[in-house]
Structure 1
Amino acid sequence: MHRHHRQRRGTLYLAVLGVSTIVSVIALAGMHAARTQLAATTQAADRLEARLLAQSAIEHAVAVFNADANWLTTYAVDTNYPATPVAAGRGAYNWRLGGAGGLNRTLSGTAKVGDAACTLTVDLALPVDLGCGLLVEGKLQIDGDCELTVEDAPAACNDEFRVDGVVTGDVEGQSIDNNGTITGSQTAPATMRALPTPSMVFDYYEQMGTVVKPAVFGSAIISMTLLSPNSSWAGKNSDGIYVIDTQGKDLSISTSRIVGTLVVTNLAPGKKVYLSDKINWEPAYPHYPALLVDGDIEISTKDGNLAEWLLSPSYNNTGTPYQGEEDTDKSDSFISSIAGLIYCTGNLTIDGGGNDRQPDLRGVVLVGGECRLQNQTLPVIKYDDAYSTTPPPGFDQTDPVVIVPGSWR
């Protein structure tokens, strides 16, 4: 009887001890969970604040650059600024520039809050230099049987300028290898000049343009035609902006009159835009581009006149006058000339075909890659200062530096 009571008291003790242990374990687990949740919440808050401070670092740097006209030389690449991070909120930040070829720069802002760190990077855009007749990012080469004439502005490159032929005009480069004849001044090393940021140029014109699909016979072809704001086959665009769908082919433009801006952004690798024979071309607005190409261009146009004939349309028909006159007959002729701004992100080749071809270019030519004159070409570039006084959309940046839209990463 007594033994039975003692056994029951022992069992009750063990039960109470077990419950107490379980309660303690639950309490400890709850405390650990609470600490874990608090730590996670704190870390999330730290990460968010670090990201905001990294963004502030970039905005701070841009403000500093826009207050210093010499920021490109004042601030070195791959160097943290300020040397002592700026304290802000519960953390601190600084920023650094990175080289991206030529005058192009990236900008990174880094911030730390507690154990959290965040780095954001953007691309920077500088105002486009529109003060040259021909401006090339890479090497510019004039072969021995070629002559380049540039009037009223220099021909310049941000690399080696090699002359084996003749340049009539002023020359600028980081170095000049003159084995031929240069009639004008020679400046080397010259001040680096800024070329366009492609996305900031093409975005505008792609949004405003009318998409056109030329006929394809091995390559996409625009030939023996009139293309203008009032042209019928291409559809009407009041600004004369046409986005050319090459369907992955080369694009050949020849024997035509164009009043407008052609935009080519979908060339397949290895493909290019060819300008040949006789073309009369001007933008719909005097200060607009004539041709924008995300890729390579080859120019082999001829001087002389573009003539109407039996199989051609009237190149100055109703709605597209030439020098104030319009008609539907086939008896007119038009000077073979490309007026306007030409820009390519890739390489530009001007080729004479061995026949002393003399392309007549009037405006500004900008090349994002390299440029070469070959095979007895004699181009004449007549600089038009309308582009520097009234830059076209996409080329009209006024601040010393801006963040390229969509480049945050």
Structure 2
Amino acid sequence: MLGSAAIVAVIGLAAVTAARVQRRSVEGTADLGEARLYAQSAVDMGLYLISSNANWRSAYPSGVWQQDVSLGAGKYTLEGVDPADGDLADSPTDPLVLTATGVKGAARHKTAVTLLADPQGYTCLETALHAGLNLVFNGATVTGNQTISSNALVTASLATINANVEAVGTITGGQYNGTNTPGVAPRTMPAADAFDYYLSNGTAISFAGIPKSQGTTTIEHVVFSPARNPYGGTTNAEGIYVINCASQTLRIREVRIVGTLVLLEPGGGSVIEQSVNWEAAVANYPALMVRGSVDIQITDNPLSESSGNVSYNPAGTPYQGDEDDDFADTYPSLITGLVYLSGSCNTNNAVTVDGAMVVGGVLTATGTLNLTYRTTFLDDPPPGFLAAIAMRVSHGTWKQVVN
């Protein structure tokens, strides 16, 4: 049997050992807490790197962004990876997974979170109609279910405006049946590169190949769509067709368009008139892009197949699911989608735009202008209309990584 002295010694040794274990446990817990804080700091650094550098996707390729960076009494490593295809630079809307490792002593904590792209369109897409210069209403009746706006002045004469109106400058004249808000901040608008994507990905149509009617080059009694190109035969999967007018006059009337028509430098007197049924082939793409100025003077008379002896819903281009080769159908006359002109525009007769309309210069309206706003282009901006892309933490994706 152990003597009393030996027993006391054993008890003392056990007490010392227990104290050491407890101290190490406390220290280990503290170190683990600090390691967790270092990992969180690394994620915060990743968010800062993204927000402070518009070119972060190319500056920080998929992989390790920062390694063994000293912080406090420890260090951290930060990785950024594209979980979609491993290439952060190939798309501005690819997601990002940030993985951060914090280290303090023997303690190590690793955490990860997913960030999703939040595309933000130009603020001109927040309104049904926006002009970079003046809005002028002469004897017009304008109706809109969303605000109409100007980065300059709004003036009206013998006009009725059934919409809320805002302007950077003054709002004068006419009968306004909504709210008027002068003195607002200018809305942001597309830059000159708004056309780049469509020029790179569109199918060119020769201006000389378009027939003339009464001496004016005229697009009429035809169908444009991803499946049909009435001039030249080469089709475009996204329905993007580009016509360089080279300052010559172009007239568009009595047509059905399912696509994005891009007009470059149309000459004076260029006009879209009579009846058209027009929509983009890609849901969030513009229906019409004009680098320059064009007048829009369509009516509300239905587009009729019989008047032109043409089927506007031929094979490959159905209308509301139906296609045929007879000449018995009619279609509502309107433009559905985003309409963008870098120059100015005069509207007349009975123009209906179901989407949004943005004019870089002056918009002058006579007759009737009906505007039904869609948030599509603000929520999911098309190429050329993307002002910025913010990266947002995806709710519920924070997790501790064990490896």
Indicate whether the TM-score tops 0.5: yes
List alignment gaps of at least 5 residues for structure 1.
Answer: 1-61, 67-125, 352-356, 401-409
Percent of aligned pairs with the same residue? 30
Q: Distance in 1 between matches of 2:332 and 2:308?
A: 19
Q: Is the 8 A contact 2:265 2:293 kept in 1?
A: no
Change (3 A) 1:172 1:364: same
Q: Secondary structure at the match of 1:147?
A: strand
Q: Distance in 2 between matches of 1:321 and 1:262?
A: 19
Deviation per CA, 1:297-327: give whole Å up to 9, x if none. Answer: 2011000311111643210010000011111
Change (3 A) 1:369 1:320: same
> What letter corresponds to residue 346 of structure 1 in structure 2?
G
2:333 corresponds to which of 323, 332, 336: 336
Change (3 A) 1:272 1:194: farther
More strand by share: 2
Q: Distance in 2 between matches of 1:246 and 1:215?
A: 13
1:174 has 2:173 as partner = no
In the alignment, what sits opposite 1:380?
A: 370
2:197 corresponds to which of 193, 204, 217: 204
Q: Distance in 2 between matches of 1:380 and 1:344?
A: 18
In the alignment, what sits opposite 2:211?
A: 215
Change (3 A) 1:312 1:166: same
In the alignment, what sits opposite 1:102?
A: none
Q: Secondary structure at the match of 1:207?
A: helix
Q: Is the 8 A contact 1:220 1:247 kept in 2?
A: no
In the alignment, what sits opposite 2:238?
A: 239
1:396 has 2:386 as partner = yes
Change (3 A) 1:318 1:167: same
Q: Secondary structure at the match of 1:184?
A: coil
Q: Distance in 1 between matches of 2:166 and 2:308?
A: 46
In the alignment, what sits opposite 1:327?
A: 324
In the alignment, what sits opposite 2:177?
A: 183
Q: Secondary structure at the match of 1:196?
A: coil
- After the TM superposition, which parts of structure 1 deviate over 4 Å for at least 4 consecutive aligned residues? 62-66
2:350 corresponds to which of 353, 358, 372: 358
Q: Distance in 1 between matches of 2:127 and 2:174?
A: 22
2:362 corresponds to which of 361, 366, 370: 370
Change (3 A) 1:310 1:252: closer
Aligned-pair distance for 1:65?
9.2
Q: Distance in 2 between matches of 1:247 and 1:187?
A: 39
Aligned-pair distance for 1:224?
1.1
Change (3 A) 1:342 1:232: closer
Change (3 A) 1:247 1:192: closer
Q: Distance in 2 between matches of 1:160 and 1:399?
A: 30
Q: Distance in 2 between matches of 1:397 and 1:272?
A: 32
Q: Distance in 1 between matches of 2:308 and 2:336?
A: 25
TM-score when normalising by structure 1: 0.62
In the alignment, what sits opposite 1:303?
A: 300
Aligned-pair distance for 1:128?
1.7
Q: Distance in 2 between matches of 1:389 and 1:241?
A: 21
Deviation per CA, 1:174-206: give whole Å up to 9, x if none. Answer: 23333221111111111210111022x111101
1:141 has 2:133 as partner = no
> What letter corresponds to residue 343 of structure 1 in structure 2?
Y
Change (3 A) 1:350 1:293: same
Alignment of 1:13-24 (within 5 A): none
Q: Is the 8 A contact 1:137 1:370 kept in 2?
A: yes
1:192 corresponds to which of 171, 186, 190: 186
Alignment of 1:40-59 (within 5 A): none
Q: Distance in 1 between matches of 2:153 and 2:219?
A: 35
> What letter corresponds to residue 376 of structure 2 in structure 1?
A
Q: Distance in 2 between matches of 1:387 and 1:185?
A: 24
> What letter corresponds to residue 135 of structure 1 in structure 2?
H
Change (3 A) 1:169 1:390: same
Q: Is the 8 A contact 2:351 2:370 kept in 1?
A: yes
Q: Distance in 2 between matches of 1:312 and 1:193?
A: 45
Q: Distance in 2 between matches of 1:328 and 1:210?
A: 26
> What letter corresponds to residue 228 of structure 1 in structure 2?
S
Change (3 A) 1:277 1:191: same
Aligned-pair distance for 1:212?
1.0
Aligned-pair distance for 1:247?
5.0
1:282 corresponds to which of 279, 284, 291: 279
1:225 corresponds to which of 212, 222, 226: 222
Q: CA RMSD in A?
A: 2.2
In the alignment, what sits opposite 2:150?
A: 157
In the alignment, what sits opposite 1:258?
A: 257
Q: Distance in 1 between matches of 2:200 and 2:216?
A: 25
In the alignment, what sits opposite 2:313?
A: 316
Aligned-pair distance for 1:63?
7.7
Change (3 A) 1:156 1:313: same
Q: Secondary structure at the match of 2:357?
A: strand
Q: Is the 8 A contact 1:302 1:359 kept in 2?
A: yes
